[in-house]
């Protein structure tokens, strides 16, 4: 599934709060449906497992970006897991080179912002959602003391 969607961003990069006018535009290219297995504490145990999930109704969350646009931000966040790409090696030894093709890549663009002391800061214009928000991160939340509910997000602080 391929689609483009917009999502509200903070008024200022890396500052908590949602702007009513600033949005990011994102391209999702991934599966129509993503299945998450969670444990009793709400911790993600696996993404798209290839086995039958025990207690199906209790430990299975389905994200369907194709039929529910509200699921697109979560699906986009995990997009890199579905497009890992292929590394190709050319040459041998010290002359070897490697190239990555077919992987999810987010190309940043920047704008100059002059600081009060005259220094120029290169500010990201097109943030990834993970730059602007603490979204559900499989590795981060696959720890015993972390819990997730309803794929909520909080702004960076």
- Annotated domain spans of the chain: 2-150
| Torsion region of 91: left, alpha or beta (phi above 0 gives left; psi -120 to 50 gives alpha) | left
pLDDT of residue 114: 93
pLDDT of residue 99: 81
Q: What does the buried/exposed string (b/e) look like for 69-108 if buried means 16 or more CB atoms within 10 Å of the residue's CB? A: eebbbbbbbbbbeeeeeeeeeeeeeeeeeeeeeeebeeee
| pTM greater than 0.85 (yes/no) | no
- Calculate the average pLDDT of the chain: 76
**pLDDT (tens digit per residue) in 65-84:** 899 888 888 888 777 666 66
**Residue 117: DSSP 8-state:** T
């Amino acid at each position: 599934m391929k689609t483009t969607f917009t999502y509200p961003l903070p008024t200022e990069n890396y500052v908590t709060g949602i702007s009513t006018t600033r949005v990011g535009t994102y391209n999702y290219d991934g599966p129509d449906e993503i299945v998450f297995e969670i444990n009793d504490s709400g911790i993600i145990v696996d993404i798209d497992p290839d086995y039958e999930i025990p207690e199906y109704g209790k430990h299975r969350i389905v994200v369907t970006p194709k039929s529910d646009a509200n699921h697109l931000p979560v699906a986009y966040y995990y997009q890199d897991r579905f497009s890992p790409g292929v590394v190709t090696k050319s040459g041998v030894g010290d002359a070897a080179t490697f190239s990555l093709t077919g992987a999810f890549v987010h190309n940043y663009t920047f704008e100059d912002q002059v600081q009060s002391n005259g220094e120029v800061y290169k500010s990201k214009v097109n943030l990834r959602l993970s730059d602007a928000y603490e979204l559900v991160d499989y590795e981060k939340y696959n720890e015993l003391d972390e819990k997730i509910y309803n794929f909520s997000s909080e702004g960076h602080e």
